[in-house]
Chain A
Amino acid sequence: MDSHNRALAALAALALAASPLANAEVKIGLSAPLSGSQAVVGQDQVDGFMLAIEQFGKKLGGQQVTVIKEDDQLKPEIGNQITRKFIDKEKVDAIVGLGFSNVLMASLKPLVESGTVAIATNAGPSLIAGANCAPNVFSMAWQNDGAAESMGKFVQDKGYKRIYLMAPNYQAGKDMLAGFKRYYKGEVVDEVYTQVGQTDYSAELAQLQASKTDAVFAFYPGGMGVNYIRQLSQAGLLNKIPNFSVFTVDGTTMPALRDAAIGTISGAMWDASLDNPENRNFVSAFEVKYNRTPSEYAATAYDAAQVLDVAIRKVNGKTSDKKAFASAVKAAGQEFKSVRGPFQFNINNMPIQNYYAFEVVKDGGKTVTRQIGTPLSKHKDAYLSKCGIK
C-alpha cells in the first residue's frame, strides 16, 4: 500500500469513527442443527437467512454484516456452548436461530444475563412465552402450541364430532395435543403416544382403523411424518379418515411424500403457497437460488433478517446499546413486511400472527398446497398472563 492510499484509509477510518455509525460492522451469530436427522431444518434456516442478507447487498440496516454459523447438533449442551461463544468471544450483536425448544432452553440463562438480542427462528416454548420471558429473547417462529391450536379450531369449526390424536411420546408431542384440545371441544376417541423416532406405524394405524373415528390429528415432525403419512396412504386410510396435522406435511417432508400427502390438511403460520407479494418474491428467489421449495423454517429465518434490517436502521447501526437495540427489534416486528402476512411481537416477545389451514391437492399433474382457511387470525398465545414484562 503506498502512502497515498494509507492516508486515504486513515481519513476514512477517522470519518467512520466520527460518524454516528460507529459500529461499522454488524456481527450476527447463526446457530442451527446442521448435522444429524434434523439437518434439513437447519440448512433451510441458514439458506433463508443468507438469502435475505444477499438481497440486502450483504448488509443489514445499511451496515456491513458478518454472519458466523454454528452447528448445534440438536444437543442442548452444544447449543449452550455456542451461545456463550457468540456472546463472550465473538461479541455478536444478535443471535439468530437457536435451534429446537430444548436447545433454546439450554441457552436461555446466558442470553438473559448478557442481554444480547436473541431471535429464535424454530421455537417458542411455553416457559419463554410465560414465566421465563425476557425483553431480549424473541420468537420469530411461533409459540409452540399455535399451529395445533389452529387445527383444533379448524376441526371444531368443520363439525367433526370425534377425533383421534397421535404424537410422539415427548414434551413437544404432549404440548401439541394439549394445544389442539384447548380449542377442540368434541370427543377425543383416543390419544396415542408413540416412540420418538419410530419408523413403523402399522400397529397404531390398525388401531386407528378399528376406532371408527371421524378424523385424526397428528404431530410427526421430520422423518416420522414421512413414515406416518406414507403408511397411512398405503393402508388406504387417507381417503377414508380425514387427516389433520402440524409440522408433518411441510416443505421438509413434501419431497419424500409427494402424492402420498394428497388430501391431508395442515395448520401453519406460513406455507410456500401463501399468496402475498412478499411471499411470492421470497419463494421464487429461494427456488431460483437453491433449486428447491423453502419450508417454514426458511421463512422464519428470512423474516428474522428482515426484522434485524429494520431494527438496525432504527438505531443507526448503534447495536452496542443492547436495551435500545432490543426495543428496536420489538418495534421493528410490526413495521417490517413478513412473508406470512400480519405480524407483530406480543408483550412476551412471541408472535401475534395468523394461522392458516393448507390442503395438499393435485393440480395439473403437480402436487401442490393450497390455502383453505384461516382458523386463527392475529392469534395470541395462552401463556402471556404468566409473563412479567410490562
Chain B
Amino acid sequence: MAMTLILPQLLNGLQYGVLLFLLAAGLTLVFGIMSFVNLAHGSLYMMGAYFAATAFNLTGSFLLAVLAAVGGCIILGFLIEKLAVSKLYSRDHLDHVLATFGMVLFFNEITRIIWGPQPYFLPVPAFLENTVSLFGINYPAYRFAIIVVGLAVAVGAHLLMHKTRLGMLIRAGSVNPKMVGALGVNIQFLNALLFALGAALAGLAGVMAGPILSIQSGMGEPVLITALVVIVIGGIGSVSGAFYASLIVGIADTMGRAFLPMLLRELMSREVATAAGPALASMLVYVLMAVVLAVRPQGLFPTGRT
C-alpha cells in the first residue's frame, strides 16, 4: 500500500492518541492515587472548550483562549474537589459513579442554559490555518500542532513525575497513600492539587479539540469512554501507561477505521464489507481492551502497587 496513504493515517492516529493522553493522564492519576472514579472528567474537557470559545469570542486571541480554558478548569477543578469530591473519598466506587454522573448531567444542562443548544465556534488560530508538507504529504498544520503540544505535555509529565519532589509524592501516593499520609505529607492538599492538575489537562484537551470539533453540550462523554478504555489498557494510576495506551488506542482506532473496511472488501462481497467494516472498526478498541483484561488484568504498563 502506498506510503502516502499510511503516513497521514499514522499521524492522525498519533494526533488522536496525544489528545486522548491529555484526558487519560488526569483520569488515571485521580483514579490511581485517590481511588476515585471521576466520570465528570469529560465535563471538564467540555467546559474547557466552552471557556476557550467564550474567551476567544470576547478577545479574538487564541492565546487568551488557551489561558481561559486551562485557568478556568483549574478553578473549576479546585471547586469540584472542595465541594463534592473530597467528601466522597471514603465512600465506595458506586457512590463516586453516581455523584460524578450527576455532575455530567448538571454540566450538560448548565452549558445548554448559558450557551444555548447550538454548537459553539472556536476557529483555528490564523498562523496554523495552512497545511505542512511532510515526506511528500500535506498535513493540516493545526493537527500537527496538537501532536507537538501533546508530546511536550507528555515529556513535561514525565519530568514532573520522575524529577520533582511532587512527582515523587504522587508516585508514592499511588503505591501506598496511607504511608505517605503517615509520613506527614498533607494528603488532602496533594489530592486537591492532583485533581486540579487533571482538570487543567482536560481543559487543555478541550481547547486543543475546540477548533476541530463542534463545541456542544455532551461533547465530553464519547471521549471520556475512550479515555476510560485507555487507562484500563495502560494500567490504572500509571501516567506512562496512559501515554503508551493512548497512542495504541489512537492508532488502532484510526487504522481500523481507515483500513478494516478495505481489508474486508478483499475477503467478502462489497455490500457485506460496507456494512460490516464500520461496525467492526468501532468495536476494535473495545476488543483490544477485552483482550488486555483477559491476558493482563493489571494493564500493559501497571504501577508497582501490589
For the complex, is A320 an interface residue (Cβ under 8 Å from B)? no
CA distance A202 to B140 in the complex (A): 10
CA distance A34 to B169 in the complex (A): 48
Contact B9–A206 (Cβ < 8 Å):
yes
For the complex, is B112 an interface residue (Cβ under 8 Å from A)? yes
How near does chain B come to A217, taking the closest CB pair, in angstroms? 16
Contact B138–A227 (Cβ < 8 Å):
no
Which interface residue of B129, B142, B212, B217 has the most chain A CB atoms within 10 A?
B212
For the complex, is B261 an interface residue (Cβ under 8 Å from A)? yes
CA distance A191 to B271 in the complex (A): 10
B 3-15 to A, binary, CB cutoff 8 A, 1 in contact else 0:
0110011001101
Contact B2–A191 (Cβ < 8 Å):
no
B 202-220 to A, binary, CB cutoff 8 A, 1 in contact else 0:
0000000001111111110
For the complex, is A285 an interface residue (Cβ under 8 Å from B)? no
Q: Would you list which residues of chain A between 219 and 257 have a CB under 8 Å from chain B? A: 222-224, 226-227, 230-231, 234-236, 252-253, 255-257
Contact A227–B214 (Cβ < 8 Å):
yes
Q: Would you list which residues of chain A between 294 and 327 have a CB under 8 Å from chain B? A: none
Q: Would you list which residues of chain B between 116 and 161 have a CB under 8 Å from chain A? A: 116-121, 123-124, 129-131, 138, 140, 142-143
Query: When A36-B218, A169-B278, A227-B214 are in contact, do A206 and B138 touch as well, CB less than 8 Å?
Result: no
For B142, the closest partner residue in chain A by CB is A234
Measured between beta carbons, the chain B residues less than 8 angstroms from A43 are 117
For B271, the closest partner residue in chain A by CB is A191
CA distance A200 to B15 in the complex (A): 11
CA distance A35 to B257 in the complex (A): 30
Contact B4–A210 (Cβ < 8 Å):
yes
Measured between beta carbons, the chain B residues less than 8 angstroms from A292 are 118
Query: When A206-B8, A253-B119, A258-B121 are in contact, do A195 and B278 touch as well, CB less than 8 Å?
Result: yes
Count contacts on B: residues with CB < 8 A to the other chain. 49
Contact A234–B140 (Cβ < 8 Å):
yes
Contact B274–A236 (Cβ < 8 Å):
no
Query: When A210-B5, A236-B131 are in contact, do A256 and B214 touch as well, CB less than 8 Å?
Result: yes
A 6-33 to B, binary, CB cutoff 8 A, 1 in contact else 0:
0000000000000000000000000000
Contact A37–B12 (Cβ < 8 Å):
no
For B5, the closest partner residue in chain A by CB is A210
For the complex, is A207 an interface residue (Cβ under 8 Å from B)? yes
CA distance A236 to B16 in the complex (A): 19
For the complex, is A204 an interface residue (Cβ under 8 Å from B)? yes
Measured between beta carbons, the chain A residues less than 8 angstroms from B13 are 203
For A256, the closest partner residue in chain B by CB is B119
Query: When A202-B254, A234-B143, A258-B121 are in contact, do A169 and B112 touch as well, CB less than 8 Å?
Result: no
How near does chain B come to A229, taking the closest CB pair, in angstroms? 10
Measured between beta carbons, the chain B residues less than 8 angstroms from A231 are 140, 212
A199, A235, A255: the one contacting B222 at CB < 8 Å is A199
Q: Would you list which residues of chain B between 203 and 250 have a CB under 8 Å from chain A? A: 211-219, 222-223
A–B Cβ pairs within 8 angstroms, 28 of them? A35-B112, A37-B216, A37-B218, A39-B112, A42-B117, A169-B275, A197-B222, A199-B214, A202-B9, A202-B12, A203-B12, A203-B13, A203-B255, A206-B258, A210-B5, A222-B214, A231-B140, A234-B129, A234-B140, A235-B140, A236-B130, A236-B140, A252-B119, A255-B119, A256-B118, A256-B119, A256-B121, A257-B121
7 extra A-B contacts, CB within 8 A, seeds A37-B216, A169-B278, A202-B16:
A37-B217, A194-B257, A200-B213, A206-B258, A223-B213, A227-B213, A231-B140
B interface list, Cβ under 8 A from A: 2, 4-5, 8-9, 12-13, 15-16, 109, 112, 116-121, 123-124, 129-131, 138, 140, 142-143, 211-219, 222-223, 254-255, 257-258, 261, 274-275, 277-279, 281-282
